Amino acid sequence: MAPARRVVMGCVAALTVMASVLLWTGCTRTPVGGWQAGGPSTSSGVEAIPGSFPSPAEELWIIARDSNAEGEPTEDAAGSGALIAETNEGTEVPLPLKHTDVRAEVLGYIATVRVTQQFHNPFDAKIEARYVFPLPHNAAVNEFVMTIGERRIRGIIRERQEAEQIYEQAKHQGYVASLLTQERPNVFSQSVANIEPGKEIDIELNYFHTLAWVDGWYEFVFPTVVGPRFNPPGSTAGIGAVPRGAQGGSEQATQVEYLKPGERSGHDIAIQLGVHAGVVIEETECASHVVTSEAPSPDRLRVALAPNDRIPNKDFVFRFRVAGSQLKTGLLTCHDERGGFFTLMLYPPKDRAPLARKPLELVFVLDSSGSMSGRPIAEAKQAIDRALRRLAPNDTFQLINFAMRASRLGAEPLPATPQNVRRGLDYLDQLEGAGGTMMIEGVNAALDFPHDPERLRFVCFLTDGYIGNEAQILSAIQEKLGASRIFSFGIGSSVNRYLLEHMAKVGRGAVAYLGPNDSAARIMDDFIERIRHPALTDVRLDWEGAAVTEVYPRRVPDLFVGRPVVLTGRFEGRALTRVRVLGDAAGQRMEWTVAAAEGAEEHRGLPSVWARLKIADLSDQALLDRNGEWASEIKQVALDYGLISEYTAFVAVDSSRTTAGSEGTTVPVAVPVPEGVKYRTSVPEK
């Protein structure tokens, strides 16, 4: 045993009480990835905008000053005295977010991710920075640290309203303070108050989440930008999209400012990912970005974003495939002073091809709104084209498209004859992306017409999900679903994964993503293959005597080919080592067993992952029952487990020092529209 390790063991043995304290944050505590924290340490003054510029020979530097009527700079105006750089790549806009550093470590199928946002003040007056950014919708954010120079202040989880009040009080009194709130399960707001000119403040977040496993591949995703959302007329609780500088212009509760065409920010991103699969990693793929990778051993990987691909305008998606068709183990556990926690990945059994299935009724619902204009809608059309050509003549299909209104191919689904498929393809050809995203029109059109009982009905939504009224859509699906199953396809480089995954979850189907560099044919072939085989339904679990409670999702979904389901729960008493799974496929009873691997490592993130799922479950129930005490219950779970939620927030205040002057101007961090999305058709100009 290494000397350092011996010391830790000695301390833990002597201090059992203290050990339990350290267990709040997990079973053991090690730095993410074991890498040194990176990031620039330079302190920039007002004469220089930090960031990576081309060589001076390529630039024209212009001093830009916001002026009042007399042509004098106003003291508090953001932009005063800052430099704007004209480069070959466009106008670089000075912004308070300089860099985002992501360090992720995957153990088994749970990721631990540390995100550091490096804020600075390139202006000559004090500012408050505000940044709306995405994280995975199932991220259990349990740590928040504000770093000022060498001083690190851990933020405190509090009721959201209280945290917001504390932050505002500190801001008004001139203290450096920061606040993290959740606007959607996958959209967060970061505010940093009283950043003095030339100063830097880092905000560090830590979260856990489970990885998706699709068709034999694990998928790690880090989203980098919130896409421009459409909000139905009259709504105010949405996420508005406005051009840079249009503060408050959207009249929505949350607002994202977008860089205009020809503008860019110095904000860049670095991502380092470590993978410890526990079994041999046979193949890797990163279609979204250029990466470098090395394999220290057959079951480990180290991956880094290439230096020339660091613009935060699309999801980072890294996939890896391990040896064999299944995991080393599908059952992971963790014990701490709160009891036992587990997560279980259920795989559908193989070889169901001989089982008979009913013919299909496929309903394609295509988002033809403005944000889908161009490449996204072209890719969605390719996908539908491919699916239509693979249908059998005794299947039926319907095509629906929606923007501000919905329209459809025919009054009822058509048999998939060659003539009707041709008719469908002609209908698709004339669709273009334009207008708002009234997705509710598409949901109503797809789920309101009668279901043919002789067919299995699958409703396929193809959309980027850029809407701000997710709750309305999910609630409508829950209400109207009936015997239909919903498969959602995310189209684009930075889609609303929370909406798409929840549509599939509520719709008891599955989700797939079609990025700019993915093959539409492959995605659709996989989908058709999946639904051609009967799903395993009525899935029951025998815990073999273990005292298992609070398993999420509450109802085990149908198991489709290539799509496992992850269940997460708690247990008391003896260790959970085996689970017997029973279900029916096309009327035949099936049964198999999942066991924990011998000597499997415990994962410290499991309590947080479980608590996040409980919060998601309570939120889903709140969609149906507006009168329930859901808010109070969600808040208590979040506070008990130290997690951010809709009703809790992290706040950190440096009370040791006040800054000079007034509280400063608020400067939103403007972001680029996602790659492939047209600014003109997705960001409304006032």
Partner 1 sequence: MLGLLAVSMAVAQESAPRSEPVHFRAVEVFVDSKDKALAAYQLEFSASGGDAKIVGIEGGGHAEFREAPFYDPKAIQQERVIFGAFSTASADRLPKGITRVATIHLRTVGIESPRLTVKVSAAATAGGDKIPITASAKEKPHDEN
Interface positions with partner 1 (CB under 8 A): 3-4, 7-15, 17-18, 21-22, 24-25, 145-146, 150-158, 162, 166, 169-170, 172-173, 175, 177, 639-642, 651-660
* Closest distance of CB 194 from partner 1, Å: 11
Q: Judged by CB, which is closer to partner 1: 321, or 338?
A: 338
Amino acid at 197: P
Token pair recorded at residue 580: 């017997």
Q: How many CB atoms lie within 10 A of CB 522?
A: 13
* Closest distance of CB 657 from partner 1, Å: 4
Token pair 């390719």 in the structure block, residue: 382
Amino acid at 661: G
* Closest distance of CB 162 from partner 1, Å: 7
Q: Judged by CB, which is closer to partner 1: 596, or 637?
A: 637
CA distance 112 to 108: 11
* Closest distance of CB 135 from partner 1, Å: 19
CA distance 64 to 50: 16
CA distance 512 to 491: 9
The DSSP call for residue 619 is: H
φ, ψ for residue 486, nearest 5 deg: -105, 125
Candidates 333, 101, 108, 83; CA nearest to 220 is 108
Amino acid at 153: I
Q: How many CB atoms lie within 10 A of CB 448?
A: 9
Contact 600, 109 (CB under 8 A): no
Q: Judged by CB, which is closer to partner 1: 590, or 639?
A: 639
Candidates 411, 404, 446, 409; CA nearest to 425 is 409
- In degrees, rounded to 5, the angle at the alpha carbon of residue 659 between the alpha carbons of residues 655 and 665 is 115
* Closest distance of CB 150 from partner 1, Å: 7
CB within 8 Å of 360: residues ≥ 6 apart: 391, 392, 395, 396, 455, 456, 457, 458, 531
* Closest distance of CB 120 from partner 1, Å: 19
Q: Judged by CB, which is closer to partner 1: 411, or 660?
A: 660
Contact 188, 133 (CB under 8 A): yes
Candidates 362, 365, 620; CA nearest to 479 is 620
* Closest distance of CB 420 from partner 1, Å: 59
Token pair 């505590």 in the structure block, residue: 29
Q: Report the greatest alpha carbon distance in the chain.
A: 83
* Closest distance of CB 225 from partner 1, Å: 29
Q: Judged by CB, which is closer to partner 1: 200, or 361?
A: 200
* Closest distance of CB 297 from partner 1, Å: 25
CA distance 103 to 272: 5
* Closest distance of CB 130 from partner 1, Å: 19
Encode 167-203 in three state secondary structure: HHHHHHCCEEEEEEEEEECCEEEEEEEEECCCCEEEE
Measuring CA to CA, how many Å separate 516 from each of 248, 259, 494, 520, 675?
Answer: 32, 21, 10, 9, 9
Measuring CA to CA, how many Å separate 659 from each of 77, 99, 298, 668?
Answer: 17, 24, 52, 20
Q: Judged by CB, which is closer to partner 1: 9, or 547?
A: 9
Q: Judged by CB, which is closer to partner 1: 11, or 237?
A: 11
CA distance 316 to 104: 12
In this structure, the chain runs to a length of: 686
Q: Judged by CB, which is closer to partner 1: 143, or 470?
A: 143
- In degrees, rounded to 5, the angle at the alpha carbon of residue 221 between the alpha carbons of residues 218 and 223 is 170
Q: Judged by CB, which is closer to partner 1: 17, or 356?
A: 17
* Closest distance of CB 614 from partner 1, Å: 15
Give, rounded to a whole angstrom, the gap between the first and last alpha carbons of the chain.
Answer: 66
Q: Judged by CB, which is closer to partner 1: 166, or 514?
A: 166
Q: What is the DSSP string of 409-452?
A: SSSS-EE--HHHHHHHHHHHHT----S---HHHHHHHHHSSPP-
Q: Judged by CB, which is closer to partner 1: 145, or 242?
A: 145
CA distance 390 to 173: 65
* Closest distance of CB 181 from partner 1, Å: 15
Q: Judged by CB, which is closer to partner 1: 14, or 69?
A: 14
Q: Judged by CB, which is closer to partner 1: 187, or 649?
A: 649
Q: Judged by CB, which is closer to partner 1: 292, or 658?
A: 658
* Closest distance of CB 180 from partner 1, Å: 13
Q: Judged by CB, which is closer to partner 1: 162, or 542?
A: 162
Amino acid at 44: S
CB within 8 Å of 600: residues ≥ 6 apart: 329, 331, 332, 333
* Closest distance of CB 656 from partner 1, Å: 4
* Closest distance of CB 575 from partner 1, Å: 25
- In degrees, rounded to 5, the angle at the alpha carbon of residue 474 between the alpha carbons of residues 473 and 479 is 100
Q: Judged by CB, which is closer to partner 1: 220, or 341?
A: 341
* Closest distance of CB 192 from partner 1, Å: 13
